Amino acid sequence: MTDPARVTLEDDDESTSVRVYDDEGDVSTGDATFRFSVDGGTGGDSSGEGTDAAAGKSGAADGADSRRIAPLADVPTDGTLRCEARRDRRGTELILRRAGDEVSAWRNSCPHKPEVRIDPGPGAIVRDDQLVCHEHGARFECDDGVCTMGPCRGDALDSIAVTVRDGTVYLTDDRFDSCRLLGE
Ligand code: FES
């Protein structure tokens, strides 16, 4: 399978959104599990909703540089850079934003509606040092990712661990093995 399936699953308490590079598998969050098979049709015991498929590119970087994301200078201050973090055959879309020599990263998913990307492709909206969800206007602090205004006020973006070393940004979050940049 070359194009991944993008799966978003929600229950009352949790949600998750991943790309799956496989013909079959399952995604779980809370008590809900969605099982799928591309050749055999979809099905499952899910109480969740909101599945969709989107085309993408397959393949993760190998070797010692598999956690390298981008040069620090390529991470914008007035927008965000998208990348995909991988573990096994699952990918999670991330966004990065720079403030001086520091970089913050979050899962590219709005707490209000997890299937909505904060950065839909050309970079997230940044206003007054806050990220703005293009869908309903929720605003998130660029340090801790907490929503200060909008329908998910008090919730926070899922923070992802990254570090800057010798002018390059690396993924350090233990939940993932590798990463790659995404195009618009
Ligand atoms: S989907 Fe982001 S504020 Fe509603």
Between the CA of 39 and the centroid of ligand 1 the distance, in Å, is 33
Instruction: Show the 3-state SS of the chain.
Output: CCCCEEEEEECCCCEEEEEECCCEEEEEECCEEEEEECCCEEEECCCCCCCCCCCCCCCCCCCCCCCEEEEHHHCCCCCCEEEEEEECCEEEEEEEEEECCEEEEEECCCCCCCCCCCCCCCCCEEECCEEECCCCCCEEECCCCEEEECCCCCCECCEECEEEECCEEEECCCCCCEEEECCC
Between the CA of 103 and the centroid of ligand 1 the distance, in Å, is 23
pLDDT at residue number 51: 34
Between the CA of 77 and the centroid of ligand 1 the distance, in Å, is 22
- Report how far residue 14's alpha carbon sits from residue 169's, in angstroms, rounded to the nearest whole number: 29
Of the pLDDT bands very low, low, confident and very high (cuts 50, 70, 90), residue 40 is low
- CATH tag, 68-181: 2.102.10.10
pTM here is 0.75
pLDDT at residue number 37: 75
CB 116 within 8 A of CB 110: yes
- Report how far residue 4's alpha carbon sits from residue 18's, in angstroms, rounded to the nearest whole number: 9
Nearest CA to 156 among 104, 107, 103, 86?
107
- Report how far residue 164's alpha carbon sits from residue 53's, in angstroms, rounded to the nearest whole number: 33
**pLDDT beyond 90 at 54:** no
Any ligand 1 atom below 6 A from CB of 136: yes
Residue 170 in tokens = 């690396």
CA separation (Å) from 163 to 64, 106, 115, 156, 166? 15, 13, 27, 20, 10
Mean pLDDT of 152-170: 96
Out of 15, 113, 130, 140, give the residue to mutate to test ligand 1, the one with the largest number of ligand atoms within 8 Å of its CB: 113
55-110 per-position pLDDT tens digit = 333 344 454 589 999 999 999 999 999 999 999 888 999 999 999 999 999 999 99
Q: State the span(s) of the chain assigned CATH 2.102.10.10.
A: 68-181
Residues forming beta bridges with residue 88, ordered by sequence position: none
Mean pLDDT taken over the chain = 83
